[in-house]
Amino acid sequence: MKLDNELIKNRFDDIGLKVDAMIDLCQRLQEEKTQMLSRIKELEAELKERQETEIQISEQDALIQSKIDGLLTKLDDFGNEQPSDRSLNLGP
């Protein structure tokens, strides 16, 4: 009978150790999850900032292209004018 009690006690001790190990693992995983969620928030903020920067750059590119197109149009108009028209545009 004493052997059976000792065996049962040993089994419970083993189970207790395994439960403790699982609890430790769960706590570590919870900490990792918290860290990962924090990192996700940081990355989302960085992504949002980069997207806003990209939009600003796109707007600047569009403005620059518009100005270039305007200057090219002026040059085309100037190149298409007759020499007599140019002398009239020079002013007094």
What does the pLDDT read at residue 79? 80
Element (H, E) at 7: helix 2-80
What does the pLDDT read at residue 78? 87
> For residue range 42-84, what is the model confidence (pLDDT) as tens digits?
999 999 999 999 999 999 999 999 999 999 999 988 888 776 6
- Rounded to two decimals, the pTM is 0.59
- C-alpha torsion angle, residues 38, 40, 44, 50 (rounded to 10): 100
Cα–Cα dist 53/60, whole Å = 10
